[in-house]
Structure 1
Amino acid sequence: MISKSIKSNFISGFLVFLIALPLCLGIAKASGFPPIAGIYTAIIGGLIVTFLTKAPLAIKGPAAGLIAIAISAVEELGGNDPILGYKLTLAVIAVSGVLQILLGFAKFGKMGDMFPISVIRGMLAAIGVIIISKQAHVILGVVPEAKSAWGLLAEIPHSLLHLNPKVAAIGLLSLALLFGHPYIKNATVKKLPAPLLILLVAIPLGFIFNLSEEHSYSIGTIDYNINPSQFLVVLPESFLGGITFPDFSQLLTYTSIKYILMFALVGSIESVLSAKAVDALDPKGRVTNLNQDLVAVGIGNTIAGLIGGLPMISEIVRSSANINSGAKGRMSNFYHGLFLLLFVVLAAAVIKTIPNAALAAMLVFTGFKLASPKEFKKINNVGIDQLMQFLTTLIVTLMTDLLVGVAAGIALKVAIELVQGVKLKEMFDLKTQISASEDGLVIKFTGVASFINYLKFKSLIDAQPKNQKIVLDFSDAYFIDHTFLSNIHNIQNKFMKEGGELIKTGFENHHFQSQHHLSSRRLVTNPYRQSNPKYELSKRAGAIQNMALVHELDFEANLSPSFVRPYLSAFSILSRLRRAQNFVLGTREHYSFMICDITYVNVSDFSTESRTATIALIFNIAKGGIPDFYTKEKRDLFDFVTQYDFDLMPKSNTMPFNVFGNNKQLVDSFFTPQITELIAEQPYTIECKRREMLIHKEWETVSEGKSLENMLSFVDQLASEVVKKRLVEAQKVK
């Protein structure tokens, strides 16, 4: 068993080393440090920090997330002298490491849970934009004139027009390979880590283009210069020759103190969040002691600062690769550091042939992932309040610095909650009542459940055994924010692993900020219920609520039609909607759904005649490959379906029901035997518009109990089959 573990860690450590080598070099150069500085940091993280922390699978090393702080520190502290700026920044890093050690002993590790999620994502997106703004010019072989992120972004078109063709060919090809790596079909090539594949292409191109020799070349009437010191990695003559000692002469200046705080706080937050993310990927479910890990990282950063290295964190990309490579324990981090040491000592000549444009491409790719359009969409799905915090943090960070940006995002979050009626003192005071019931422990919230007072709740829940059932009752909580709910969602997984159960209830009278199941929510006063103390849910609402509780879904009894309108925007029934109630809302891995009762006008004129129906909606499902269509007989669907420009695709041996659609080829490919059989067995009519599916039983109210359970089961089965079909198609494309 021990030998197998050693072998697995050794192999995974080697594979991570292949990924880490170019990233360490690239991050160092992008930070204004000598390339060897990134190697020093990773070696310290592997050979020393491994034995100071019990983090089972985390890889310690320099991270792209701290590039923006490092380069700003070098430029601001050194002025026009980059060497001086580098030495002064080393002093800042060493002291920030000491501060991290103190934060670890002060149990700051748990503080990572209280920072607003949208603010943290906004900070990371800003870092991504800063990385792209700086490294895009390196890819093109151009030295920009601008210094600010906005100026550098604006200068990209100019750099495109004045690119160095040989350098740009390497950089752009490397970038294309990084984006195209998931779509490579050749099994052998696909197994190669993307950074290694880039080096296998970029280094030979560097030889072909003779980047190691200073020379000029012409294309047409334009002359271009090749300078090896600008376009290739530069290393010191010996491994120890690169060691640089810090300059502490400006340590007490405002600028130094500012960057000490930024390195310590941002680095600690990133490291804590990354360590938690790595724990979530651990097949054995092991949990890192975040405070101990923070002390270990602080020690590593102090040593790195004293010898010329970058700051380190628990790096998520390399840690993920470590897990995927079969690592069993922390020694894989040690081996990754050992391989880096051996390679830089024994094969420095190879490193000196790596084109900087290839390293810049890797960083641009990393920056794009941090600031991907998908991030904006994800945040927007959670609620406009979260998007505002995200954008504020992003924009202010780009205009000023990370500390000010994060502070602005948090300030906006507090302001939004104050506008919604939350009192400032309530954010700090967590009010709970604990009682025992037949089902288990009940924790009832009153007042506000905020990101600020979450740590009090965390202390409370950590004191409870995880192998029991605990009900969190929010019925009297005036406001619950997204960060609080997201953290609870993470804790639920821990309870499940230990044989317990953590259930959220009491949202029947809350207004959700969006359709997302973890969106912020505020208690909406119901005048009828307020004037009738004995008011209770109807029999139907009670039955639906019980079903939602059993399936761990969110339930809301009475809301205005404005809540359901966004879901129905693609369907003509929207104009006839008068009321919606008894909402059941759920989110799965690849889709979301909602079931509710609606009241709608029956005819197309202004008649007061109305009917009720139970509908289900599936949304946020896979992209592409889902046609617009509706099933069953046309007469079952009201007159409004006539406005659809759909053709009848009549029943056949393979299609036992009528389908109306506007793209026969797409409809035929969509209705697999599994999907067709599933729909044929149920009495539901399905309408699909813009990849959203509206499901109903000939516009009748589905009775509570078994019928509602059947609808829920059908929704899950249908959505799962559609997702499965899309995943299979995506795999074929790859």
Structure 2
Amino acid sequence: MIQKSTKSNFISGFLVFLIALPLCLGISKASGFPPIAGIYTAIIGGLIVTFLSKAPLAIKGPAAGLIAIAIGAVEELGGNDPFLGYQLTLAVIVVSGILQILMGIAKFGKMGDMFPISVIRGMLAAIGVIIISKQIHVIMGVVPQSKSPWDLLAEIPHSILHLNPKVTVIGLLSLALLFGHPYIKNSTIKKLPAPLLILLMAIPLGFVFNLSQAHSYTLGALQYEIKPAQFLVVLPDSFMSGITFPDFSQLLSYTSIKYILMFTLVGSIESVLSAKAVDALDPKGRETNLNQDLVAVGIGNTIAGLIGGLPMISEIVRSSANINAGAKGRMSNFYHGLFLFLFVLLAAAIIKIIPNAALAAMLVYTGFKLASPTEFKKINSVGLDQISQFLTTLVVTLLTDLLVGVAAGIALKIAIELVQGVKVREMFDLKTQVAAAEDGMVIKFSGVASFINYLKFKTLIDAQPKNQKIVLDFSEAYFIDHTFLNNIHNIQNKFTKEGGELIKAGFENHHFQSKHHLSTRRLINNPYRKTSIPSALSKRATIIQKMAMANGLDFEAHLSPSFVRPYLSAFSILTRLRRAKNFVLGTREHYSFMICDISYVNVGDFSTETNSATIALIFNIAKGGVPDFYTQKNSDLFHLANQYDFELMPKSKDLPFEVYGNNASLTDSFFTPKMATLIAEQPYQIECKRREMLIHKDWQRISEGASMEDFLHYVDQLASEVVRKRLEEATVNKM
């Protein structure tokens, strides 16, 4: 097992290295630092911080979210001398690293929970816009004259008119590859990380366009200049010669203090939230000690600042890639840092031929994800109060800086609560009553449940055993904000994993800010609840109930999630399950099955988004003849092989789909022609573990009516064929 874990960590560390290399270079250049600075940071994060943090799967390294702060510090502190600004910024990073260490010791690891979610996402969106405004010009090979984000955006038409065609071709092709990567059909190519594909395309194009040699060329009547120092990555002569020491001479200036606070605050929040998001993706459900992690990151940042590196955080994109590549533990972070170190030592010449336009494209893509229209739509769906906080933080940050933007967003949040009748003292005073119940306990709220007093609730709930049922009764709470509800939604996962339940209740008389299930609510009439028929089934539940009755099956609209949990214990979806409803239950002669709707979470950068799906479970199949496997018709699911330790099975039967499993002979003999046809002709994914079969339609909800009826028929057909095959084998064995 140890040897297998080492192999998985080694491979995933190598794959993350391929992604991290160009991102470290691009983030460094965008931050006004030498390209080598980002690599120094990732090496420290891998070789040193790995053993200080013990975060199971997080990758430590420079992050795009700190670009805006870093470039602002370099420009403000250095004035017209970028190198001086770089040295003065290093001193700022050292001090902010020390502050992070002190914050971790003081147990500030929970600080990410006490900031309004929409303010944080507005800050990140502003960072995305800043990144785009600066890097879009690099894609076109133009040096802009402006400095502020608004002016840089306004200067884009000018850059388009004066673009360098050779450089722009590389930049635009890189950008197209990034946006098009999710739609690639070829499974082999799709498995390659997009940054690696960009390098495989951009470096040869750099040779074709002769970017390494200074020259001029004409296109039509226009002449263009190629300057290698501008268009290619520049590295120091040796790894050690790039080390730069900080300049502490302006440490007590207002500008330095401002950026110390910004690096400390934003860096710590990003790192804590990223670590929590990575934990939610961990198939084993492990949790990072956030205070210890903050201390480790602070030590890493202090060392990075002392030798010329960027600040680091637990980086979500690389961490997600690490998990999908099959990492089993923290050593994958170590190997990623080791590969970066060896590559810079032994193959620096390759780095020097990477076009800057390709790196800029990666950053523009990152900026777009942070500030995408989808992000605006998600925030807007939660309510007018959330989109107003989001936009205020975004706009004020672009006009001023991150600290002022975040402060403006929080001030608006507090003002909105005051307008809605919340008193200032109530924001800080969390009123709860704890009472024992027959199967657990009830926590009853009164007054206000706000982002400001959430940490008091967190202390209370953390002290309770997670293997019990706890009902959170908000029936007498006057005001409950979105951040408070979202944080509760996130910690429900802990209870789920340990066999307990955390249930929110008592919203019958509350007004919801929107139809979103986590929207802010106040204790008045709720326009989204039909109080006249509280026990009525939903339209979907009614249709499914009629279908179940017509087929002689049992139906239950609402059962505890603990009912379905034992059947999902072998499957990776269990850790992300939130609720289940609309149960159709059936028992046949040789098997039983259950069909239900579930809500589950997909983990984004800094919060969880809830999705719905319809699943079927076939169980109580007698022992023998049913291997562990899953079918694959969607190449996005290839990472399941790493989660289950499965391998691609040989297609000796020429199956029209891929099968992953851990027993080639048993899996191969299992698929009869009829079974293969059933699986191939229907759009369902099959996962089988411990003789229980999980069936779903690419984790989507199946519409009621005819589609649900077809799904039921399919489950019966597949289960009958599995049983027929098993009985046939049992008869042969008896003979």
* TM-score under structure 1 length normalisation: 0.74
Deviations 1:177-235 (A, max 9, x none): 11111111223222211000000000000011010011111112211111100000000
Aligned to 1:121: 121
Kindly provide the amino acid, as one letter, of the partner of residue 123 in structure 2: M
Structure 1 residues 550, 184: CA separation in 2 closer, same or farther (over 3 Å shift)? closer
Aligned to 2:522: 522
Aligned-residue offset at 1:351? 0.4
Aligned to 1:108: 108
Secondary structure at the aligned position of 1:91 is classed as helix
Return the alpha-carbon distance in structure 1 between the equivalents of residues 260 and 709 of structure 2. Answer: 50
Secondary structure at the aligned position of 2:95 is classed as helix
Return the alpha-carbon distance in structure 1 between the equivalents of residues 325 and 91 of structure 2. Answer: 36
Return the alpha-carbon distance in structure 1 between the equivalents of residues 301 and 15 of structure 2. Answer: 24
Aligned to 1:377: 377
Kindly provide the amino acid, as one letter, of the partner of residue 75 in structure 2: E
Structure number, greater radius of gyration: 1
Larger mean CA deviation between 434-443 and 139-148 belongs to 434-443
The question of whether the paired residues in 2 share the 8 Å contact of 1:505 and 1:549 is answered with no
Structure 1 residues 549, 472: CA separation in 2 closer, same or farther (over 3 Å shift)? farther
Return the alpha-carbon distance in structure 1 between the equivalents of residues 375 and 598 of structure 2. Answer: 21
Return the alpha-carbon distance in structure 2 between the equivalents of residues 275 and 721 of structure 1. Answer: 38
1:126-137 matched pairs, under 5 angstroms: 126-137=126-137
Structure 1 residues 392, 82: CA separation in 2 closer, same or farther (over 3 Å shift)? same
Aligned to 1:191: 191
2:164 counterpart of 1:164: yes
Structure 1 residues 279, 674: CA separation in 2 closer, same or farther (over 3 Å shift)? closer
2:47 counterpart of 1:47: yes
Aligned to 1:337: 337
Aligned to 2:402: 402
Aligned-residue offset at 1:551? 6.0
Return the alpha-carbon distance in structure 1 between the equivalents of residues 705 and 227 of structure 2. Answer: 62
Structure 1 residues 70, 718: CA separation in 2 closer, same or farther (over 3 Å shift)? farther
Identity of aligned residues (%): 81
1:268-283 matched pairs, under 5 angstroms: 268-283=268-283
Aligned-residue offset at 1:158? 1.0
Return the alpha-carbon distance in structure 2 between the equivalents of residues 592 and 387 of structure 1. Answer: 27
The question of whether the paired residues in 2 share the 8 Å contact of 1:591 and 1:719 is answered with no
Kindly provide the amino acid, as one letter, of the partner of residue 450 in structure 2: S
Return the alpha-carbon distance in structure 2 between the equivalents of residues 169 and 223 of structure 1. Answer: 16
Aligned to 2:221: 221
Aligned-residue offset at 1:485? 0.5
Secondary structure at the aligned position of 1:472 is classed as strand
Deviations 1:650-707 (A, max 9, x none): xxxxxxxxxxxxxxxxxxxxxx9999xxxxxxxxxxxxxxxxx9xxxxxxxxxxxxxx
Structure 1 residues 361, 721: CA separation in 2 closer, same or farther (over 3 Å shift)? farther
Aligned to 1:82: 82
Return the alpha-carbon distance in structure 2 between the equivalents of residues 522 and 551 of structure 1. Answer: 27
The question of whether the paired residues in 2 share the 8 Å contact of 1:517 and 1:587 is answered with no
1:248-287 matched pairs, under 5 angstroms: 248-287=248-287
Aligned to 1:541: 534
Deviations 1:577-603 (A, max 9, x none): xxxxxxxx996654599xxxxxxxxxx
1:299-378 matched pairs, under 5 angstroms: 299-378=299-378
Structure 1 residues 205, 551: CA separation in 2 closer, same or farther (over 3 Å shift)? same
Kindly provide the amino acid, as one letter, of the partner of residue 376 in structure 2: F
Secondary structure at the aligned position of 1:541 is classed as coil
Deviations 1:386-442 (A, max 9, x none): 000000000000000111111111111111111111111101000001111223201
Return the alpha-carbon distance in structure 2 between the equivalents of residues 501 and 714 of structure 1. Answer: 28
Secondary structure at the aligned position of 1:192 is classed as coil
Kindly provide the amino acid, as one letter, of the partner of residue 162 in structure 2: H
Return the alpha-carbon distance in structure 1 between the equivalents of residues 525 and 188 of structure 2. Answer: 62
Return the alpha-carbon distance in structure 2 between the equivalents of residues 460 and 442 of structure 1. Answer: 12
Aligned-residue offset at 1:548? 8.1
Deviations 1:627-659 (A, max 9, x none): xxxxxxxxxxxxxxxxxxxxxxxxxxxxxxxxx
Kindly provide the amino acid, as one letter, of the partner of residue 282 in structure 2: D
Return the alpha-carbon distance in structure 1 between the equivalents of residues 536 and 69 of structure 2. Answer: 55
Return the alpha-carbon distance in structure 2 between the equivalents of residues 108 and 716 of structure 1. Answer: 53
Secondary structure at the aligned position of 1:255 is classed as helix
Aligned-residue offset at 1:330? 0.3
Kindly provide the amino acid, as one letter, of the partner of residue 123 in structure 1: M
Structure 1 residues 379, 36: CA separation in 2 closer, same or farther (over 3 Å shift)? same
Secondary structure at the aligned position of 2:110 is classed as helix
Aligned to 1:561: none
1:441-456 matched pairs, under 5 angstroms: 441-456=441-456
Return the alpha-carbon distance in structure 2 between the equivalents of residues 674 and 335 of structure 1. Answer: 39
Kindly provide the amino acid, as one letter, of the partner of residue 167 in structure 1: V
Aligned to 2:293: 293
Return the alpha-carbon distance in structure 2 between the equivalents of residues 29 and 674 of structure 1. Answer: 45
Structure 1 residues 525, 185: CA separation in 2 closer, same or farther (over 3 Å shift)? closer
Structure 1 residues 715, 423: CA separation in 2 closer, same or farther (over 3 Å shift)? farther
The question of whether the paired residues in 2 share the 8 Å contact of 1:14 and 1:335 is answered with yes
Return the alpha-carbon distance in structure 2 between the equivalents of residues 86 and 271 of structure 1. Answer: 23
- How large is the RMSD of aligned CA atoms in angstroms? 2.6
Return the alpha-carbon distance in structure 2 between the equivalents of residues 363 and 383 of structure 1. Answer: 30
Return the alpha-carbon distance in structure 2 between the equivalents of residues 716 and 415 of structure 1. Answer: 50
Structure 1 residues 673, 488: CA separation in 2 closer, same or farther (over 3 Å shift)? same
Structure 1 residues 512, 69: CA separation in 2 closer, same or farther (over 3 Å shift)? same
Return the alpha-carbon distance in structure 1 between the equivalents of residues 479 and 599 of structure 2. Answer: 21
The question of whether the paired residues in 2 share the 8 Å contact of 1:42 and 1:61 is answered with yes
The question of whether the paired residues in 1 share the 8 Å contact of 2:100 and 2:268 is answered with yes
Deviations 1:28-49 (A, max 9, x none): 0000000000000000000000
Structure 1 residues 198, 586: CA separation in 2 closer, same or farther (over 3 Å shift)? closer
1:701-720 matched pairs, under 5 angstroms: 714=704
Return the alpha-carbon distance in structure 1 between the equivalents of residues 494 and 557 of structure 2. Answer: 21
The question of whether the paired residues in 1 share the 8 Å contact of 2:439 and 2:468 is answered with no
The question of whether the paired residues in 2 share the 8 Å contact of 1:466 and 1:499 is answered with yes
Kindly provide the amino acid, as one letter, of the partner of residue 166 in structure 1: K
Return the alpha-carbon distance in structure 2 between the equivalents of residues 437 and 248 of structure 1. Answer: 60
Return the alpha-carbon distance in structure 2 between the equivalents of residues 497 and 673 of structure 1. Answer: 32
Aligned-residue offset at 1:718? 5.2
Deviations 1:123-182 (A, max 9, x none): 100000000000000000001111000000111111111100010010011101111111
Secondary structure at the aligned position of 2:470 is classed as strand
Aligned to 2:505: 505
Aligned to 1:142: 142
1:171-186 matched pairs, under 5 angstroms: 171-186=171-186
Aligned-residue offset at 1:366? 0.4
1:596-675 matched pairs, under 5 angstroms: none
The question of whether the paired residues in 1 share the 8 Å contact of 2:512 and 2:520 is answered with yes
Return the alpha-carbon distance in structure 2 between the equivalents of residues 302 and 719 of structure 1. Answer: 61
Secondary structure at the aligned position of 1:502 is classed as strand
Return the alpha-carbon distance in structure 2 between the equivalents of residues 285 and 228 of structure 1. Answer: 48
Return the alpha-carbon distance in structure 2 between the equivalents of residues 254 and 391 of structure 1. Answer: 28
Aligned to 1:62: 62
The question of whether the paired residues in 1 share the 8 Å contact of 2:42 and 2:337 is answered with yes
Kindly provide the amino acid, as one letter, of the partner of residue 447 in structure 2: G
Return the alpha-carbon distance in structure 1 between the equivalents of residues 225 and 599 of structure 2. Answer: 56
Return the alpha-carbon distance in structure 1 between the equivalents of residues 34 and 682 of structure 2. Answer: 60
Kindly provide the amino acid, as one letter, of the partner of residue 32 in structure 2: G
Kindly provide the amino acid, as one letter, of the partner of residue 124 in structure 1: L
Kindly provide the amino acid, as one letter, of the partner of residue 256 in structure 2: S
Secondary structure at the aligned position of 1:108 is classed as coil
Return the alpha-carbon distance in structure 2 between the equivalents of residues 125 and 76 of structure 1. Answer: 22
Larger mean CA deviation between 194-203 and 516-525 belongs to 516-525
Deviations 1:441-466 (A, max 9, x none): 01100000000000000000011111
Structure 1 residues 714, 438: CA separation in 2 closer, same or farther (over 3 Å shift)? farther
Aligned to 1:599: none
Aligned-residue offset at 1:109? 0.7
Structure 1 residues 425, 42: CA separation in 2 closer, same or farther (over 3 Å shift)? same
Return the alpha-carbon distance in structure 2 between the equivalents of residues 287 and 719 of structure 1. Answer: 41
The question of whether the paired residues in 2 share the 8 Å contact of 1:392 and 1:409 is answered with yes
Structure 1 residues 673, 100: CA separation in 2 closer, same or farther (over 3 Å shift)? closer
Return the alpha-carbon distance in structure 1 between the equivalents of residues 39 and 288 of structure 2. Answer: 25
Return the alpha-carbon distance in structure 1 between the equivalents of residues 710 and 417 of structure 2. Answer: 37
